[in-house]
Structure 1
Amino acid sequence: MHMSPSKTPQDLAVSAEALLFVEGGSMTRKKLGLRLSCNDKELAEALSVLSARLEGSGLTLIDTGNEVTLAVAKAASETVREVLEKELSREIGDAGLEVLAIVLYCGPSTRARIDYIRGVNTASTLRTLLARGLLEREGNPEDGREYLYKATAELLAHLGVANVNELPNYAETAAELARFEAASATDKDHETFG
């Protein structure tokens, strides 16, 4: 994968920033490089440009060597903390409840699966639920490029259950969601190949 002549480090930096923003969390360098269609050297140059461009702004680029993410810059962290505290004191809303229901009744789920079931992008809702400690994320053993979101012990405690099997109508709802996903996959296959 080589950068096309029109893709300068500045162009790649702009695209990297947008992808990291849309991702709503960290992204491996490998995944980011694939999305940008660039090699490791070109990615490093683009990330260097992005990091320099973000200096003095409200954002910073965190680069662990393996993963990169956009984060709040230290200079803005107090303001953001105050706003988040107010935000977290509010109700989670219908979107949050829907995401929690999917994760509780379907089990650990990728963001793509949650987005698909809901029919909308859930990045900001997932961030809120993670910040509140209601969900946690871990690497997906089947695909290292994405995360699985799962219920925390704190969420189960809030719901007054020891495990998901104690949720109301758990077996029926989980089975119905599985049927929905299977039917949707079949419909998608028919659209693609039929």
Structure 2
Amino acid sequence: MPREQLQRKPEEEFWSDDAAEELESSQEEASEEDAVRVLASVLPLSARVSSLLFVSSKPLSSEAIAKATKTDVETVEHVLEQLSELYQNETHGFSLREINGSWQFRTAPEAAETIKRLVTPKAKRLSRAAAETLAVVAYKQPVQKADIEAIRGVDALPTLKTLVDAKLIRIVGREDSVGQPALYGTTKQFLERFGLKDLAQLPSIREITELENDPGEVGEAGVSTVTSDGTDEASSESFTDDEA
């Protein structure tokens, strides 16, 4: 047999495509795990959790944070509680708040005036009709259109459509009566916008209706909620309607 036929083939020719992909995948996973271990040894978990919360424009769940940090949920929740207590100190310009089961940094109420000098609210604002209707839905939910109109004394349909489009309210069911009218309730976005952990933390009706007087202020005591990326979350959207 010719010597050329006795020579070994290059090693890569003995690998099937599937085997090669499996090897590459395992190497990538090992590399990622090594990087996480190195990072964990240098940067504490609390610092990594804070970093995630800082860069996120939306509230983060403990599950999402656990996945990103490759840590169990129970440990992450413990760290979140510790951070929340840490930033409750009045010397900080922000706090860590639990909002509808997720977490987000929120600016301190006392800093609202200072923030507004840097972050200018958009001109459009929540109208009186929308603010009043939102207040009725928030405190009476689930509530039907007829009940809202009985309280406000005007047609509520245009305003309800505005609030539904803004994702502040939604249809949560149907009344078990003639015609089965729609029942309205607030949304997850409503809780996020007002910085509420749940509906039990609803602000007073006065605070909600104050939206019409200051377009950039939403949240506890009408405070502008500025996210960690420097944007005014409360004024990032505009809501108006044609109702007088």
Instruction: With the length of structure 1 as denominator, give the TM-score of the two structures.
Output: 0.40
Higher relative contact order by CA 8 Å / sep ≥ 6: 1 or 2? 2
Larger radius of gyration: 2
Instruction: With the length of structure 2 as denominator, give the TM-score of the two structures.
Output: 0.33
Higher relative strand content? 1
